[in-house]
Amino acid sequence: MEQEVKFRRALVIGCGQSGVAAAELLHARGCEVRLFDRRATLEGLPDRLSSCVRYLGVELAPDEAFDGLDLLVLSPGVPPGPWRERHLKLVPEAEVHGELSLALAIIASEWEGGNELPTLLITGTNGKSTVTALTGAMLAAAGLDPFVGGNLGIPLCELLLAVAEGRRGRPGALVLECSSYQLETLRVSPEAPLTAVAMVLNVSADHLDRYASINDYAQTKARIFDGLGPQSLALLSAKDPFTPALRERVPPIVECRVVDGPEPPRLAEHDGALELRVGEFYRRELVPLAGRHNAVNALFALAAARHLGITREACEQALSEFRALPHRMNPIGERGGVTYIDDSKATNVASVLAGLDGFERPFVLICGGRAKQGDEIGALREVLARQGSGVVAIGESAQTFLAMADGVVPTAHARDMHEAVRIARDMAKPGDAVLLSPACASWDMFLSFVHRGEVFAQAVAALA
């Protein structure tokens, strides 16, 4: 690549997917890359990084790892506090980036017209992957060739490397799912493309082992609005209690629309149609996703796409062709009149409740795992009393879930997912659903929520 190398020497903290993507891009640009990871061994490291100096199997890299640095890249899953302290002590002149902010900075500074590249940023405790994918589908239906990724799927640095090596053309837009971790290091124009649309779908208790309070977490989410300009759009939820505080972060020159309130964008009371503007309706039947929350997700996507000038026809095409993302209220099979539904992505109580909003079947709930600090498990009691046929609890928090549901529905403890599915089958009646919606992280028993959903599917397939 014949490119000016902005950074000469970088330390990449954390060698997960995003860290490796940043390291590969920097290495290809001629930067000396050093790698750190708390794991003692790294499997599957790309060949081009084989010569990089590595600091593995320790809590913090030694001082020598910081010698001569002009860039520190923090991976999203790495708590930043100790690293920022060492940065200020050892190399205060070095820039600090996350993988996402690094890629955006390169786009803004080196791509022709990069600072004006339509960029949509999407965050929220729940629903952001669906809204990101659906918004991207609307832009794609209009022929815009967007890049859809960030926290969802492919890291942005991976796209930049593919473009630089001629394996992909430059996209016509960026549709980026942003976690709170990624927003911690987000830069604004001119160090990043001007944000065309930014949205916070909702805020509920999550990651409180990282943030001092839920208010601190919410304000980190609000950083998504910092890069908006006079022609940009901010979107917030009328139903979320944090919206008044978040709205204060939206610059006064920016149009701000509140979704799912008394005014459009809203769901029509008489038939649930999606009313984007006065007189602009989209039939609910166009959205092939179950639950009221998914109709609201579609409203967010429509508002973003139409703001960019995407035609109604392209939006309707994308809506009708869209399918639920894996592990999000996905029916995966039926046995004996009982439908089995994988909602493994529901890693907190708010996500479980959102999935059940508008769900009509009685259900046996398989839940439990590593509970999120500050989450209100008791909020599930009302929906269980109204619609539940039973609770089967697994994982570290099993006893907490059993105590919550005691006296509300039949309960049982299972040692593993296969046993949980068998018990749930015996609890369910024809016409019921068995719903894996754990309200917890997966790491106590599984590699990820994806792995948890896959094991659930295997257990369902193994039923006689």
Q: Are residues 122 and 58 in the same domain?
A: no
311 part of a folded domain: yes
Residue 143 annotated as part of some ligand binding site: no
Q: Are residues 337 and 314 in the same domain?
A: no
102 part of a folded domain: no
Q: Are residues 234 and 157 in the same domain?
A: yes
Query: Among 32, 58, 93, which residue terminates a domain?
Result: 93
Q: Are residues 188 and 217 in the same domain?
A: yes
32 part of a folded domain: yes
Query: Among 273, 303, 321, which residue terminates a domain?
Result: 321
101 part of a folded domain: no
pLDDT of residue 1 exceeding 60, the answer is: no
For residue 6, the model assigns a pLDDT of 84
Query: Among 321, 347, 373, which residue terminates a domain?
Result: 321
Here the CATH number for the domain that contains residue 61 is: 3.40.50.720
105 part of a folded domain: no
Residue 126 annotated as part of some ligand binding site: yes
For residue 270, the model assigns a pLDDT of 85
Here the CATH number for the domain that contains residue 221 is: 3.40.1190.10
Q: Provide CB contacts within 8 A for 205, sequence distance 6+.
A: 214, 348, 349, 350, 372, 373, 374, 375, 376
pLDDT 10s digits, 43-84? 899 999 999 999 999 999 999 999 999 999 999 888 899 999
pTM of the model: 0.88
pLDDT of residue 5 exceeding 60, the answer is: no
pLDDT 10s digits, 8-21? 999 999 999 999 99
51 part of a folded domain: yes
Instruction: Answer whether 327's CB lies under 8 Å from 345's CB.
Output: yes
Q: Are residues 292 and 195 in the same domain?
A: yes
Q: 3-class SS at 193?
A: coil
The total number of structural domains that make up the chain: 3
Q: What are phi and psi of 444, to 5 degrees?
A: -75, -30
- For the chain, first and last CA: distance in Å? 57
269 vs 180, 284, 356, CA distance in Å?
33, 12, 19
Q: What are phi and psi of 316, to 5 degrees?
A: -65, -40
Instruction: Answer whether 97's CB lies under 8 Å from 74's CB.
Output: yes
pLDDT of residue 88 exceeding 70, the answer is: yes
Q: Are residues 234 and 367 in the same domain?
A: no
144 vs 110, 118, 120, 228, 314, CA distance in Å?
21, 10, 13, 21, 11
**Average pLDDT over the chain, rounded to whole?**
95
Residue 291 annotated as part of some ligand binding site: no
Q: Are residues 378 and 429 in the same domain?
A: yes
For residue 259, the model assigns a pLDDT of 98
Q: Are residues 157 and 283 in the same domain?
A: yes
For residue 204, the model assigns a pLDDT of 87
103 part of a folded domain: no
Q: How confident is the model at residue 357 (pLDDT cuts 50, 70, 90)?
A: confident
d(CA 142, CA 314): 5
DSSP 243-268: HHHHHTTS-TTSEEEEESSSSSSEE-
d(CA 359, CA 289): 11
The boundaries of the domain holding residue 52 are: 9-93
For residue 105, the model assigns a pLDDT of 96
Q: Are residues 181 and 230 in the same domain?
A: yes
Here the CATH number for the domain that contains residue 390 is: 3.90.190.20
Q: Are residues 243 and 147 in the same domain?
A: yes
Across the range 247-267, mean pLDDT stands at 97
pLDDT 10s digits, 378-407? 999 999 999 999 999 999 999 999 999 999
Residue 124 annotated as part of some ligand binding site: yes
Across the range 88-110, mean pLDDT stands at 96
Q: How confident is the model at residue 3 (pLDDT cuts 50, 70, 90)?
A: very low
Instruction: Answer whether 339's CB lies under 8 Å from 363's CB.
Output: no
pLDDT 10s digits, 309-356? 999 999 999 999 998 888 988 889 999 999 999 999 999 999 999 899
Residue 125 annotated as part of some ligand binding site: yes
295 part of a folded domain: yes
Q: Are residues 119 and 183 in the same domain?
A: yes
Q: Are residues 299 and 438 in the same domain?
A: no
